[in-house]
Amino acid sequence: MGTFRKQSLVFLLAALLAFTWAASPALAAEKKYVVGEDRNAPAMIFDLVLLRPLGLVGFAVGTAFFIVSLPFSVLGGNTGEAAKKLVVAPAKYTFTRPLGAEDY
């Protein structure tokens, strides 16, 4: 891998982490989660091992599709809606939802 590609990847990951760190309090305050009595260790492990990595993949794929669709959403005037559905919703699910929460 070339130096430029490595630097670009590091920059992209740093920007992604900075975005999620900066946005997480605002995202968390917006949604209330239904957390029942059956939120136990197996549910938390399942969430941590399977659902969070899938949420991270969904966040990355949604961000990529948002970037690709950005010219069209600007022309259509729905950039905010596209950002909410493709970037913010997966970010909330992955980074701000309580571990083992039942409902999103």
Q: Could you state, in order of their start, the residue ranges of all structural domains in the chain?
A: 3-96
Phi, psi of 89 (to 5 degrees): -60, -50
- Cα-Cα-Cα-Cα dihedral sign, residues 13, 21, 79, 97: positive
Strands in 19-60 per DSSP E:
none
Alpha carbon of residue 99 to chain centroid: 15
Q: Is a pLDDT exceeding 70 seen at residue 31?
A: no
Give the model's pLDDT for residue 22.
47
Q: 3-state SS of 17-30?
A: HHHHHHHHHHHHHH
Q: What is the pTM (predicted TM-score) of this model?
A: 0.62
Q: Is a pLDDT exceeding 70 seen at residue 94?
A: yes
Matching residue, tokens 């939120």: 39
